[in-house]
A = this chain, B = another copy of it.
Amino acid sequence: MPEIDSSNVVRLPEAVSRPAGDDSSPCAACPVRELAVCSALDGHELDRLNAIRMPAELPQGSTLFDEGAAADYVYNLTSGSMKLYKLLPDGRRQITGFVFPGDFLGLAHDTEYVYAAEAVKDSALCKFKRSQLSRLFDEFPRLESRLLSMSRDELVEAHNQMLLLGRKTARERIASFLLMLSRRAEELGVPINPINVPMSRNDIGDYLGLTTETVSRTLTRLKNTGVIILNSDRKIDVADREALEEMADGF
């Protein structure tokens, strides 16, 4: 059990998310300093960003925002992991992405969020008022530049996911998914074998356009063919990475 309040309500208001002016440079110790938008800024600029930064924490399973809610804030994940999803009226769900430390979230169309965001694990974020951040864009074009670059990367990923959802078999989807987790872990500098799989089978299914059962069956088959080893604690050992890579690419 984490020491974080585990009620299912977002702990955003005043108490937790006040401007971080008291702490002169929390970013210095930030584990994702080099990955996030912040990497575009130097010391002075970082201070300016930090002045409008509000730290926020979010316990596992709680919702940061719903699709269609007023998009007044944007966020940067510093620890934990989250999922973004869209719903159809009858409850069908598509997880459009998982968010890992260093990732930016809070994309909006106009003034509304276009997806919901929920914590997969206990998470910590930097929260920024959208209006304040965009004022900073005018001052530091490199910040906007960095954000454009991150959006481009997101778009590349989105296109890969379309290929996956539109054309790949269940086996290929699972292989791609495992490699994505592995790649992200590597970027974050955490151990990549076994792969840490923080999300449920149901989440995986909703991300890959499959049902829970198909995810489970496909993983079992990969285990039986000796490509992976399934541990009981949401960790997966990759026994034959090359096989996994060929599968993922549709060979």
Contacts and interface: CB of A to CB of B under 8 A. Distances in A.
Interface of A: 86, 88-90, 92-94, 96, 107-109, 114-115, 137-138, 141, 144-145, 147-148, 151-156, 158-163, 165-168, 206-209, 249-251
B155 A94 contact: no
Q: What is the copy number of this chain in the assembly?
A: 2
B144 A148 contact: yes
Contacts of A162: 86, 94, 96, 158, 161-162, 165
Contacts of A209: 165-167
A96 B155 CA distance: 11
B167 A94 contact: yes
A141 B145 CA distance: 9
B167 A107 contact: no
B249 A89 contact: yes
Contacts of A161: 162
15 contacts: A89-B250, A93-B167, A94-B167, A96-B162, A115-B159, A137-B145, A138-B141, A148-B151, A158-B158, A158-B159, A165-B165, A165-B166, A165-B209, A166-B207, A166-B208
